[in-house]
């Protein structure tokens, strides 16, 4: 009888845990709204790939640091905050906001910004976004660049 009672209690506990786990997950929408950027899953390197459309929409309520990491950097996206060479990004952490602040990186085509984003993610930065296709994709989508 005692063994049966323990089995029933264990089953009820298991059922409660399973039902709790099946609840609706907390939406990242509140976080997305607070920083003006989408909150999709991070890639294997620990940063978030951002499309031109996503960035353009986010620029309306810009609440992130926009960094050009292209070498050389003759053109910028509008409202660029910093220019830091991709291969020197970890040597200039003092120029960046805190590790939990949203940072969007871009370069000409995406190669340099991908390397810089991976380096920042490895350094513990948690909200790193990288513009897929860089400013070439930005320009091809009909958006303006600012000449330096």
Active site residues per annotation: 107
| Other C-beta atoms lying within 10 Å of the C-beta of residue 100 | 9
Helix (H) / strand (E) element for 84: namely none
Residue 78 has phi, psi (to 5 degrees) of -60, 145
Helix (H) / strand (E) element for 76: namely strand 75-76
3-class SS of residue 147: strand
């Amino acid at each position: 009888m005692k063994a049966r009672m323990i089995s029933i209690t264990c089953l009820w506990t298991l059922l409660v845990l399973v039902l709790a786990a099946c609840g609706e997950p907390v939406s990242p929408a509140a976080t997305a709204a607070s920083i003006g950027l989408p909150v999709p899953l991070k890639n294997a390197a620990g940063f978030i790939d951002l499309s031109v459309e996503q960035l353009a929409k986010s620029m309306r309520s810009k609440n992130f640091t926009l960094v050009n990491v292209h070498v050389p950097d003759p053109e910028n996206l509008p409202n660029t905050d910093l220019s830091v060479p991709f291969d020197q990004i970890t040597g200039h952490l003092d120029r960046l906001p805190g590790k939990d602040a949203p940072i969007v990186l871009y370069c000409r085509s995406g190669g340099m910004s991908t390397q810089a984003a991976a380096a920042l993610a490895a350094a513990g930065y948690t909200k790193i976004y990288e513009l897929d296709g860089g400013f070439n994709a930005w320009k091809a989508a009909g958006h303006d660049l600012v000449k330096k």
